[in-house]
Amino acid sequence: MRRRFDEENCSVARALEALGDWWTLLIIREAFLGARRFADFESALSISKNVLTKRLRHLVEHDVLTTVDAGRFGSRLEYQLTPRGKDLMVLVTALRQWGDRWVFGPGQEPVLVCERGSGRPVGRLRVQAEDGRSLAARDLELRPGPGADETTLRRFEALGRVDRRR
Amino acid sequence: MRRRFDEENCSVARALEALGDWWTLLIIREAFLGARRFADFESALSISKNVLTKRLRHLVEHDVLTTVDAGRFGSRLEYQLTPRGKDLMVLVTALRQWGDRWVFGPGQEPVLVCERGSGRPVGRLRVQAEDGRSLAARDLELRPGPGADETTLRRFEALGRVDRRR
DNA sequence: ACAATCTGGTCTCTTCATGCAACTGTATTT
DNA sequence: AAATACAGTTGCATGAAGAGACCAGATTGT
């Protein structure tokens, strides 16, 4: 059985758990592109129906999508992004920009994220300090937060000893 | 068989392909936390050895990690993030912040991404215009880029017609 | 009115990935 | 020299994923 991350005291793991699996982010990508109906997702992704059914249900359960009746009798559903789902735009953009940089390369981007008004591509996502300064990976460190549990704290302790070893 | 995205003309799909699967991002999370050896990852993730072996190999093949001989005869390996791997910090942070916001909630974060010097948590990742203005999801649109292929272009055309239907 | 088609699934079957546990061959430590 | 750590490999049982057929209700075309 696939390992579940339901109980882990880690936002990364829990976010992954909510998203479900690889397909899911592509479904969300399609939702951002404008897909709303079952058939939209199906044709865009060439995904089999049973898997799509399961994924959509998973996303609805995790409040990333909601269903809205589009036909008068409920046989036409529309799937829409919830606020929680829309907030994944940053994540999808991060993924897209990484692929742009390292797979396709500058000037070869298949799709650009643009500002609606001007049509100009958005800037590169950066990790910034509160005051707006950009921070590189080497300027960052991870620390236990207010919600850290025993296990997490012990992990950080162990890291302090990490350089003892050869 | 799991679907492969090797040939897709989409940075999101290709990035997902390079990463491999869910485990992989947790491996990368551990690498950012300081894990370097096989046993580090194994104990932190409680992952089975054969799967870990496969994932690490996948990441090395996709140039996210490299191996460095730590023992004199190559039996002690260290896995290190390549530049390409370090550039995933934004992605991991996006995922972590999403989980912080929607799973744990403010004040309950298990782990914080902080600036090394000040120890203060970094700001929230935002999609920004070139000039630095923050953009919300509704201010964004996707457009075909210079690397768009026929299929991608046709997808965007179809989107123009999307509102015709009921 | 009636057939054809669309929509959003469910069901079955096969294949593959996962997790577990045992085993292996070097290194290092004592 | 023996024990233990390291970084895997191998074999096996199980469950999940994917392909494709099938289906009921709604809608559309003629």
**Which range is least confidently modeled, A11-25, A119-133, B84-98?**
A11-25
Nearest to B142 by CA among A104, A67, A96, A66: A96
Q: Please, are residues A97 and B13 in contact by the beta-carbon 8 Å criterion?
A: no
Nearest to A28 by CA among A13, A14, A49, A44: A44
List strand residue ranges (DSSP E) for chain A, in order.
65-69, 77-81, 111-115, 127-128, 134-135, 140-144
- B54-105 tens-digit pLDDT: 999 999 999 999 998 766 555 678 999 999 999 999 999 999 999 999 999 9
pLDDT-derived band of residue A163, with 50, 70 and 90 as boundaries?
very low
Q: How far is Cα B165 from Cα A114, in angstroms, rounded to an integer?
A: 26
* A94/B94 Cβ within 8 A: yes
- A88-115 tens-digit pLDDT: 999 999 999 999 999 999 999 999 999 9
- Residues 39 to 98 of A: which have CB under 8 A from any B CB? 44, 47, 70-71, 76, 84, 86-98
Q: Which residue has the higher pLDDT, B160 or B38?
A: B38
What is the pLDDT of chain B when averaged over all its residues?
89
What is the pLDDT of chain A when averaged over all its residues?
88
The predicted pLDDT at position B74 comes to 53
Q: Is the pLDDT of residue B164 over 80?
A: no
The answer to whether A2 CB sits below 7 Å from nucleic acid chain C is: yes
Q: Please, are residues B130 and A29 in contact by the beta-carbon 8 Å criterion?
A: no
The answer to whether B2 CB sits below 7 Å from nucleic acid chain C is: yes
The DSSP result for B129-159, as a single string, is: -TTS-EE-GGGEEEEE-TT--HHHHHHHHHH
Question: CA B72 → CA B38, B69, B75, B76, distances in Å?
Answer: 17, 7, 8, 8
Choose among A12, A33, A114: nearest Cβ to B26: A12
The predicted pLDDT at position B2 comes to 67
- A53-73 tens-digit pLDDT: 999 999 999 999 999 887 655
Share of chain B above pLDDT 70, in %: 90
Report chain A residues whose CB lies below 8 A from the CB of B76.
166
A71 SS3 class: coil
> Which chain B residues 60-119 have CB under 7 A to strand C?
71-76
**Mean per-residue pLDDT for B44-56?**
91
* B104/A11 Cβ within 8 A: yes
The predicted pLDDT at position A165 comes to 40
The predicted pLDDT at position B165 comes to 38
The predicted pLDDT at position A151 comes to 87
Between helix B22-33 and helix B38-45 the angle, nearest 10°, is 120
Distance from the first to the final alpha carbon of chain B: 36
Cβ within 8 Å of residue B108, ≥6 positions away: A145, A146, A147, B100
Q: Which residue of A has its CA nearest to B113?
A: A142
Q: Please, are residues A125 and A94 in contact by the beta-carbon 8 Å criterion?
A: yes
Cα dihedral A85/A110/A121/A35 (nearest 10): -30
The predicted pLDDT at position B75 comes to 63
The predicted pLDDT at position A80 comes to 92
B78 SS3 class: strand
Predicted TM-score (pTM) of the model is: 0.93
The predicted pLDDT at position B3 comes to 74
